[in-house]
Amino acid sequence: MKSVFYISILWICSLLCSSYAWSQPATNNPQTLEFIDGIEIIRSQAPQLNSTSIPSTKTKSSTPLTIESFQSIQFKYGQLFNVEIEQIENISLYQFIEEWLDTKYRMGGKSKSGIDCSGFAGVLYETNYHQLLPRTAREQHHTSEKIEMTDIKEGDLVFFNTRGGVSHVGVYLHNRFFVHASTKEGVMISNLDEPYYKKTFISAGRLPTQ
């Protein structure tokens, strides 16, 4: 009987110990703690991205460019010239062109009631670059320095032989487009690759002081 009693006591103690072990939180398990610590270490020691990983757009030294940063006139001419909007920087120049587009041609004219090619180039330069050009296309060609088309930039002059010698002038814009006063259409924008202008093109020029 005593042996049965002791066996019963041992069996009950064993059950109580097992019940106590199952009732403890899982965090008392050394393996579980190691796993949780591992997650915490990964989170706390995650590598930080430095300035060379992802360029910051929110720094004091730079302002991010957004759609709202540009004006409608930049979208218009960027699309017309097929260039990036950022290249249309001289807003006042394109506002000037907008005001003069479709002004009729008049030989010797220099106003919005009528203007010729050299007169338009002169008014554009005086208004936007504060420079005075000679009155005729021939004189403007003589005054300017010839430049290669690979070096041409916005504001340079482009000269044509439309009726013998240097007889027509325009102002270069972007991507082979230029603005000028045409005898038939008045102030307009054309492209150097159009057959007529491709055939009559002489050279591009830049004023020495520009």
From 17, 141, 142, 180, active-site residue: 180
Two structure tokens written together for 71: 């004006």
From 117, 141, 142, 174, active-site residue: 117
Two structure tokens written together for 40: 């915490």
Task: Choose among 81, 91, 119: nearest CA to 103.
Answer: 119
From 130, 141, 168, 174, active-site residue: 168
Q: Is 60 helix (H, G, I), strand (E, B) or coil?
A: coil
Residues in the chain: 210
Helix (H), strand (E) at residue 2 = helix 2-23
Cα Rg, the chain, nearest whole Å? 39
Using CA atoms, how far apart are residues 100 and 98, in angstroms rounded to an integer?
6
Query: Can you spell out the DSSP letters for 81-119?
Result: HTS-GGG---HHHHHHHHHHTTPPB-TT-EETTEE-HHH
Whether 174 is a known active-site residue: answer no
Q: Looking at the annotation, which residues are catalytic?
A: 117, 168, 180
